[in-house]
């Protein structure tokens, strides 16, 4: 596997700002260390294993959804970061908005774990 195109802190902050502009919510970063941790998680997976793109995308999503680095919009930002990671690395994402919302809410509530979320991402994406 080629080295994936990762997201920087600045890109993640810009994505968060775009989502807040579109959907509303309180702006602001609650904890930069938690954001840095979320952004490093997929890279750590690759450094110590052979994860799929969907597993790395799920790591991005889980890192933001569970770490809550932002004051508001963590679920939206986490989901979009995971989906955008897939697309940035040559995979189309095609789940419905309703399904994405339900799966991400289940992830946030602890009803869906990272492995299951990665499987869902894999089932709903593929090479472009």
Instruction: Report the chain (128 residues): mean pLDDT per 10 consecutive residues.
Output: 92 98 96 98 97 98 98 98 98 97 98 98 96
For domain 29-127, say whether CATH 1.20.120.1870 is its number: yes
**Closest Cα to residue 9, out of 39, 45, 52?**
39
| Cα–Cα distance measured from residue 30 to residue 34, given in angstroms and rounded to the nearest whole number | 8
Domain ranges in the chain?
29-127
pLDDT of residue 1: 62
Phi, then psi, of 12 in degrees rounded to 5:
-65, -45
In total, the chain counts a number of residues equal to: 128
In the numeric block, the tokens 């938690």 are attached to: 34
Angle in degrees, CA 105, 110, 113, rounded to 5? 95
The answer, as to whether pTM is greater than 0.85, is: yes
How much is the pLDDT for 105?
98
**How far is residue 52 CA from its own chain's centroid?**
14
pLDDT at res. 2: 83
- Say what the alpha-carbon torsion angle 101, 37, 17, 19 is, to the nearest 10 degrees: -10
């Amino acid at each position: 596997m080629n080295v994936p195109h990762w997201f920087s802190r600045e890109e993640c902050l810009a994505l968060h700002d775009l989502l807040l502009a579109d959907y509303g919510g309180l702006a602001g970063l609650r904890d930069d260390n938690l954001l840095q941790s979320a952004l490093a998680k997929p890279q750590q997976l690759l450094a110590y294993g052979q994860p799929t793109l969907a597993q790395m995308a799920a790591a991005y999503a889980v890192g933001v959804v569970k770490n809550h680095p932002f004051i508001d919009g963590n679920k939206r930002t986490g989901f979009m970061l995971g989906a955008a990671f897939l697309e940035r690395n040559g995979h189309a994402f095609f789940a419905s908005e309703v399904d994405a919302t339900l799966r991400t809410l289940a992830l946030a509530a602890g009803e869906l774990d990272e492995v299951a979320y990665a499987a869902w991402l894999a089932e709903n994406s593929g090479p472009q």
